Amino acid sequence: MKARHAVALVLTVGCVASGCAVLRGSPPELTAQESQQIRGLLGEFAAAVRAKYPEAMQRLLPPNTSGNRSAELVFRFEQACWLGRYSGYTVNMEAALSPRNMSQANGARIELRLPGSNVRGQSLRDTVVLARSGEQWWLHDFTMELPEEDDRLDPPSEVQASLRAAVLPVLRDLMEGHAGDVYYALPDEPGAHHRRAEAGFFARLFGAPETVSVFSDLRIIVQLDVLAWPDPSQPLEVLYKSPGVISIHYEVPYSWASGRAGEPEMLGLDFIFVKRRGGWSFTRFRGSGEALPYS
């Protein structure tokens, strides 16, 4: 199993200097009012994760948080809470507020380990750092598990609807054999019209190309006998590729148009989207399978 990595997100809060390291220390002494306020703050944080709602998380930040810091935090928050393992996220409040899960930082900051779980009962252990400004506690920092390549994501329903609306016309063109329409719908940007050839050492030694034309892939795909195209009404399989890049992935069975004997083989179809201002933009198409050379 791949190792998981957590990324800390640091925000400037009140009089706390940006970038200062959190210092581990003894459990803080909190008044009953402070404990109640922190309990409410943690509850709102868990609800924001559960709802995949970054705007709700933003309301927990201090009013003087810079725009750049806030945007970075929102971006990373989205990546984390879209992971399926955060579906139905809940925090064990009693355990989180226990002295063994709480430590004093420098003065007006406390760090809490959050024993939590998801809808399937799997354990999650995240961390938040809270900072006090005046009489108010704010979210200062947190760590959550972040996705790795090809992790399955669970975006909010409105995002899935927009992705589906972008994919269906392209999928329909493929089903109808319009390879050219798919190709010329791709944006004129690096990586859209060619893919890097995946070839072994000896294949490269004997002249494998560095890149393969996506148009060549599309022409092959529309000539295959695809036995079952994806059902547009089914939930999307959304995969994480890299920060700000996701893929809608399909696996379809096919046989060779030449009548090649044997069991049907599988063809991978990936519709790749990049996060841009205003939403997700379809930028690339990738096919994979034995039918496509150097895939």
Q: What percent of the chain has pLDDT over 90?
A: 51
pLDDT in tens, 193-216: 999 888 666 666 677 788 899 999
Report whether pLDDT(84) > 50: yes
Chain center to CA of 58: 18
| pLDDT band, residue 1 (cuts 50/70/90) | very low
Query: 199-208, 230-239, 244-253: which has the minimum mean pLDDT?
Result: 199-208
Q: Mean pLDDT, the chain, as a whole number? A: 85
Amino acid at 182: V
Alpha helices in the chain (DSSP H): 32-51, 54-58, 67-81, 93-96, 157-175, 179-185, 201-205, 214-223
Which one-letter DSSP state was computed for residue 16? B
pLDDT in the model for residue 106: 67
- For the chain, the domains span 6-145, 152-288
How many CB atoms within 10 Å of residue 35? Answer: 11
Phi/psi-derived region of residue 259, left when phi > 0, alpha when psi is between -120 and 50, beta in every other case: left
* pLDDT value for 25: 60
Among residues 104, 212, 229, 140, the alpha carbon closest in space to that of 177 is found at: 229
The Cβ of residue 285 has, within 10 Å, a number of other Cβ atoms equal to 23
Q: CA 38 to CA 137: how far, in whole Å?
A: 7
Q: In the Cβ-directed half-sphere of 189, how many Cα atoms lie within 13 Å? A: 9
Cβ–Cβ < 8 Å for 145, 4: yes
pLDDT digits (tens, 9 = 90+) for 118-149: 888 889 989 998 988 888 999 988 899 888 99
Residue 83 carries which DSSP code? Answer: B
In CATH terms, are 6-145 and 152-288 the same topology? yes
At position 76, the amino acid (one-letter code) is R
User: Taking residues 97-116, what's their average pLDDT?
Assistant: 86
Burial (Cβ within 10 Å: 0-12, 13-18, ≥19) of residue 269: buried
Backbone angles phi, psi at 134, to 5 degrees: 70, -125
CATH number of 6-145: 3.20.19.10, 3.40.920.10, 3.50.50.60, 3.10.450.50?
A: 3.10.450.50
Nearest Cα to 135, choosing from 14, 11, 9? 14
Partner residues linked to 83 by β-bridges: 153
Task: Please write the tens of the pLDDT for every residue from 256-295.
Answer: 765 555 678 999 999 999 998 878 999 999 999 999 988 8
The predicted pLDDT at position 4 comes to 47
Picking from 282, 141, 287, 185, the residue whose alpha carbon sits closest to that of residue 226 is 287
Residue 109 pLDDT > 90:
no
pLDDT at 57: 96
- Kindly report the number of other CB atoms within 10 A of residue 220's CB atom: 18
Half-sphere exposure of residue 214: CA atoms within 13 angstroms, side-chain side:
24
**Over the stretch 17-45, which tens digit does the pLDDT of each residue have?**
333 333 456 777 888 999 999 999 999 99
Cα gap 203→195, rounded to integer Å: 17
CATH number of this structure's domain 152-288? 3.10.450
The 10s digit of each residue's pLDDT in 57-74 is 999 998 888 999 898 888
Structure tokens at 151: 């992790």
Residue 54 is predicted with a pLDDT of 92
Predicted confidence at residue 91, as pLDDT, reads 94
Contact between residue 86 and residue 49 where contact means Cβ atoms under 8 Å apart: yes
Instruction: Tell me what pLDDT residue 10 has.
Output: 33
Residues 151-170 have pLDDT tens digits of 999 898 899 999 999 999 99
Cα–Cα separations (whole angstroms), residue 51 to 18, 54, 154, 193: 29, 9, 11, 37
